[in-house]
Structure 1
Amino acid sequence: MQTHIIIPARYGSSRLPGKPLLELGGRPVIAHVIEKAKAHFSHVYVATDDHRIFECAESCGVKAVMTSEHHASGTDRLAEVAVKLELPDEDIVLNLQGDEPLMPPALLKQLEALLIAKPDSQMATLMHEIHEVEELLNPNVVKVAVGENKRALYFSRAPIPYPRDEFSNDKSVMPSGNYYRHIGLYGYRVGALKAISALEESPLEVLEKLEQLRPLANGIEILIDVSEVMPPHGVDTIEDLDALRKHFI
């Protein structure tokens, strides 16, 4: 069994077109992501729908794979790569976004360890505790409800679990209990990755715009654990990029 890092990198981002190739510390954003992945993993690939990103990835010393422009999710893009590379079903694939140049490698290792520790598990991800009520109420922050044995029950843009009694009195104060935000790192068995991609989009996935609801809606369990560290914000906007540039001066 081997672990593979696949870095999905689209050119046509609606909020920041071409962001994998934008300059960060004198190099493209994706070059920093590749460098970090290569320092800790032997099998690293870039999945892209753009020849410029393809050429950039290859110049950084990793194999790039051209994928369809029409994938509904990152999971589907990774599955296409797994099929093209003929990866064994029992291998592990970790999804590292191409706009996360500061992602701590410890989180990738933690995700890998979750799947290695439970050989019958099919998918894993991470979460981090929420401490501010503004974050709990923010629909751009994805929340997760967790059951026993580190199993995700549901993901939502709404506050979950919902503190009915406390919020009926005051929504300006952080309620008691444990609340978690989802961190968008995923690990899969290759066989599960291909199976998930073959499924139709679920109504829940379409409604909340959260791809992780597809496997849950179809009975595929998702392991989840509290992240060892909180990852910094990725590059979604030009303001994000400007803020990150301060780390690379």
Structure 2
Amino acid sequence: MSLQPLIIIPSRLASTRLERKSLALIDGLPMVVQVLRRALEADMGPVSVACCGPEIAEVVHQNGGQAILTDPDLPSGTDRMWAAIQTLSPESRPSIVINLQGDLPNISASVLQAVLRPLENPAVDIATIACVIENPQDLSNENVVKIALAKESATRGRGLYFSRATIPFGADTHYHHIGVYAYRYKALEKFVSLPASPLEKAERLEQLRALEAGMRIDVELVETIPHTVDTALDLEAARNWFERQ
């Protein structure tokens, strides 16, 4: 297996809060293409879009990207990512896979590159990233996922729990989880084989499945939070950001 990470961007048209958001135009390009460009700019390794159908695949190919068609009925982006990897020959499957959500159109190269750092520790199964919460309103926003973090250095810690609630209670500093993950191949293989766990179902956060199964998730702290596009207001904010650049 290659030591070079493979970045996969899961993308589907169905969305509960913003229909067809993968193809929503931002600065003249579909959002999935903006995310693809950010991944290529990070220059970390090959990038593929794992998509639900030919409409997304076509726009990816038109913009010079690689797309892999997957079953449109897969339940999650992680399952879609795993399905895409299985289309590769066994000898070309990577030792590290990065799951880059297709709704982060302005993620910077430095933020994306940071997700690999916790895997320097061989005890870590999954790595992810977070940022200090500065806006007090985010503490009560259930769409801002928080982390109970056991810090091991100024920029890294072990993720003990993830929640939509404000955790830890009474803490001076809270952390906003950014949904980018780097998996060791074997950890991803184990993760997708597990059933959805009770805490995962309660919080609607699939990373809790890994924690309940005893897997280790470490977190790298970064300075900036990329725009996540979940709603029409988020889409407008992302468009405005690109116009200002």
* TM-score, normalisation: structure 2: 0.89
Matches of residues 174-213 of structure 1 in structure 2 within 5 Å? 177-213=172-208
Question: Which residue does the alignment assign to 2:160?
Answer: 153
Deviation of 1:134 (Å): 2.6
Please point out which of 81, 84, 90 is paired with 1:81.
84
Question: Which residue does the alignment assign to 1:93?
Answer: 97
Distance, in Å, in 2 between the alignment partners of 1:27 and 1:240 is 16
Question: CA offsets, 1:100-154, max 9 Å, x none?
Answer: 1101111111112221x12342100111112344322222211110125421110
Distance, in Å, in 2 between the alignment partners of 1:137 and 1:28 is 31
Amino acid across the alignment from 2:99: N
Matches of residues 1-249 of structure 1 in structure 2 within 5 Å? 1-39=3-41, 40-86=43-89, 91-115=95-119, 117-147=120-150, 149=152, 150-163=157-170, 177-227=172-222, 229-249=223-243
Give unpaired runs (5+ residues) of structure 2: none
Amino acid across the alignment from 2:97: V
Deviation of 1:41 (Å): 3.1
Residues 45 and 178 of structure 1: CA distance in aligned 2, closer, same or farther (over 3 Å):
same
Instruction: Indicate conservation of the 8 Å contact 2:85/2:93, yes or no.
Output: no
Give unpaired runs (5+ residues) of structure 1: 164-175
Question: CA offsets, 1:13-67, max 9 Å, x none?
Answer: 1111111112222221111111221222330000111210011112222221111
Instruction: Indicate conservation of the 8 Å contact 2:8/2:100, yes or no.
Output: yes
Distance, in Å, in 2 between the alignment partners of 1:29 and 1:134 is 27
**Aligned length, in residue pairs:** 235
Distance, in Å, in 2 between the alignment partners of 1:94 and 1:191 is 13
Moved over 4 A (4+): 87-90
Task: Out of 233-242 and 86-95, give the one that drifted further.
Answer: 86-95
Distance, in Å, in 2 between the alignment partners of 1:16 and 1:148 is 36
Partner of 2:60: helix, strand, or coil?
helix
Deviation of 1:90 (Å): 6.1
Residues 100 and 57 of structure 1: CA distance in aligned 2, closer, same or farther (over 3 Å):
same
Instruction: Indicate conservation of the 8 Å contact 2:117/2:220, yes or no.
Output: no
* TM-score, normalisation: structure 1: 0.87
Distance, in Å, in 2 between the alignment partners of 1:109 and 1:191 is 21
Distance, in Å, in 2 between the alignment partners of 1:113 and 1:159 is 26
Partner of 1:151: helix, strand, or coil?
strand
Distance, in Å, in 2 between the alignment partners of 1:61 and 1:114 is 31
Task: Out of 84-93 and 52-61, give the one that drifted further.
Answer: 84-93
Aligned-pair Cα RMSD in Å: 1.8
Task: Out of 125-134 and 136-145, give the one that drifted further.
Answer: 125-134
Distance, in Å, in 2 between the alignment partners of 1:148 and 1:179 is 12
Distance, in Å, in 2 between the alignment partners of 1:126 and 1:119 is 17
